[in-house]
Structure 1
Amino acid sequence: MKAVRNERFMKVTTYLLLIAWAVFVVFPLYWMLTTSFKSKLDVFLGPKYIPWVDFKPIVQWWIRIFTVEREEVIRPLINSIIVASISSLLAVLLGTMAAYGLTRFKFKFGPLRNHDILVWIVSQRMMPPIVIALALFLMFKVVNLLDTRVGMTLIYTAFNLPIAVWMMRNFLSQIPISIEEAAMVDGASRSQIFFRVVLPLTLPSLAATFLLCFIFAWNEFLFALILTFDKASTMPILIASQHFQRGPQWWDIS
């Protein structure tokens, strides 16, 4: 009886903690959404949480975004979606291939081994982006990639590749090699094993890695500021420019 009671207590406690954590995570999104329906006065008068109770919702700012500011907003939004999505897909694909090689084969480049290669790859992400910003600007100017989606996609792919390699290497190392050996016995090639056996087993890991890369690419500011001017500018640049030109208009940002 006591064991059942303890088990029930642990279950209730676990659910309460999960609910509290869910509220903690979702509340910023809820606050952002409700702010987009508040008037200027409601925003600056203090916290107002519940629509139709604490404040009267309005759709003025949504109409303004899709009418008056449509040309100003739509292009950066589309640029962010395209660049972040394609660069994340490329980073995950290339990173998974590199991680698979590091977990299944033994490499030797002088004194370097697999672990050293992995550390070197991850160390590229630790380098401050501003260090290479000027060099990238000059390189992109020579090859005519300034202010282009292709250029930003290449930058964000390289920017997120170390993260993808590091994450997927940990996931792939947990897959038993015996599964691949069984596929080899059935006559599968190494590429068939990778695409038909390994990748389906790592779909949750691929999704998690893609989302992380997408978030980093979507929020990136420095390269977008230096390497774009108008045609390929992204949402962080638009939000920052609005903030400096007109002040913190939280209703538009939300």
Structure 2
Amino acid sequence: MKRRSRRSTLLLYAIVIFWSFIVLFPYYWLATTSFKKPLDATRFPKYIPYYDFQPTTEHWDYILTQRWDKTWGSFRNSLIIASGSTFLAVLLGSMAGYGLSRFRYYWKRLRWRNDNIAFWIISQRFLPPAVFIIPFMIAYADLGLIDTHIGLIIAYTMFNIPFAVWIMRDFFNGLPTDLEDSARVDGATRWKAFYRIVLPLSAPGLVSVAILSFIFSWNEYLYSLMLTNAEAVTLPPFIAAQNTQRGVEWWYISALAMLAIVPVILFGLALERFITRGLVAGALKG
């Protein structure tokens, strides 16, 4: 039995190590490419710095000094748009999720109840985003929202809200109503009970929705490409634009990609325990 247990443990560790290598190797390749000279990046694969190739920081110097204005501009746009859409998605999604959890709705014409409404909301994520791009462009052109921060914030909020409502509804369903009832008996309004009691207890769900909404908004490419052209360009289109007459400049793309993923990774690692608790709660509390 002990031999079988050891074999199972070794096999498990081997699988984890192998899978970790598969997951982490693209990041290693991205990081090393950002320090390779153009010839080293385009010739035969070179993996180990100082052994296969001589690292250089000229690409980082270029994007952080010579092109700092454009680099910082796209980074700032991504930060503003992702933060704004995440805040609105968490705010509106938590209130809608709370309403679907604590109140009972019934639409007689369609015989819809809370479960039907929740499914209809999450079904909006079933459609590919490309379906909405033409209506968005027409509406934004009429409203003057092309190439604006608020335009992308509205678009990203629309895509983030269904997920936020679905997760927060399931999370609120798992919270007991006794504390809310006690607060209301003591004279608290429904809003005060929601703000003072329910939201602090639902912090893991709120954080998981926030980080996932932020990641979607930070990485989104299609709408940023189609709805911006200069002032509100975010990092993904800016990275993809590193294609000159000399071809695709992989070294600049790698450096910019590293610059783009580091904040999200740090954010995710800092809130990892909240993400796990929030997603598990949303998955188990049906």
The amino acid of 1:59's aligned partner reads T
* Deviation, structure 1 residue 162: 0.8
CA distance in 2, matches of 1:9, 1:74: 51
For 2:88, which of 84, 87, 90 is the aligned residue? 90
Moved more, 206-215 or 171-180: 171-180
The amino acid of 1:178's aligned partner reads D
Per the alignment, in what secondary structure is the counterpart of residue 243 of structure 2?
helix
Moved more, 132-141 or 228-237: 132-141
Structure 1 residues 10 and 73, CA gap change in structure 2 (3 angstroms): same
The amino acid of 1:177's aligned partner reads T
CA distance in 1, matches of 2:120, 2:75: 34
State the partner residue of 2:34: 36
State the partner residue of 1:227: 227
Pairs within 5 Å for 1:1-80: 20-80=18-78
Structure 1 residues 200 and 10, CA gap change in structure 2 (3 angstroms): farther
Structure 1 residues 171 and 18, CA gap change in structure 2 (3 angstroms): farther
1:18-56 CA-to-partner distances (Å, cap 9, x unmatched) read: 555544433332322222111122222344333333332
State the partner residue of 1:171: 171
The amino acid of 1:118's aligned partner reads A
CA distance in 2, matches of 1:71, 1:33: 23
* Deviation, structure 1 residue 251: 1.1
Contact 2:242 2:252 in 1 (8 A): no
The amino acid of 2:156's aligned partner reads Y
Pairs within 5 Å for 1:100-249: 100-110=98-108, 111-243=111-243, 246-249=246-249
1:160-207 CA-to-partner distances (Å, cap 9, x unmatched) read: 111111222222222223343344444433222222222222222222
CA distance in 1, matches of 2:198, 2:18: 36
CA distance in 1, matches of 2:215, 2:137: 23
Per the alignment, in what secondary structure is the counterpart of residue 67 of structure 1?
helix
Taking only aligned residues, the RMSD between alpha carbons, in angstroms, comes to 2.6
CA distance in 1, matches of 2:14, 2:168: 32
CA distance in 1, matches of 2:168, 2:18: 30
Moved more, 46-55 or 33-42: 46-55
Moved more, 70-79 or 96-105: 70-79
CA distance in 1, matches of 2:246, 2:104: 57
CA distance in 2, matches of 1:197, 1:27: 44
% identical equivalent positions: 45
CA distance in 2, matches of 1:160, 1:36: 32
CA distance in 2, matches of 1:58, 1:17: 35
Q: TM-score, normalised by structure 1?
A: 0.86
CA distance in 1, matches of 2:176, 2:52: 56
Moved more, 48-57 or 219-228: 48-57
* Deviation, structure 1 residue 59: 0.5
Unpaired runs of 5+ residues, structure 2, are: 255-286
* Deviation, structure 1 residue 138: 2.1
Moved more, 148-157 or 196-205: 196-205
Moved more, 76-85 or 243-252: 243-252
1:111-152 CA-to-partner distances (Å, cap 9, x unmatched) read: 111111111111222223333322222222222111111111
CA distance in 2, matches of 1:178, 1:7: 46
Structure 1 residues 114 and 17, CA gap change in structure 2 (3 angstroms): same
CA distance in 1, matches of 2:115, 2:245: 49
* Deviation, structure 1 residue 17: 5.4
Unpaired runs of 5+ residues, structure 1, are: none
CA distance in 2, matches of 1:224, 1:79: 10
Structure 1 residues 202 and 35, CA gap change in structure 2 (3 angstroms): farther
Per the alignment, in what secondary structure is the counterpart of residue 35 of structure 2?
coil
CA distance in 2, matches of 1:244, 1:119: 46
Per the alignment, in what secondary structure is the counterpart of residue 231 of structure 1?
coil
Tell me the matched-pair count. Answer: 252
CA distance in 2, matches of 1:228, 1:38: 32
Per the alignment, in what secondary structure is the counterpart of residue 157 of structure 2?
helix
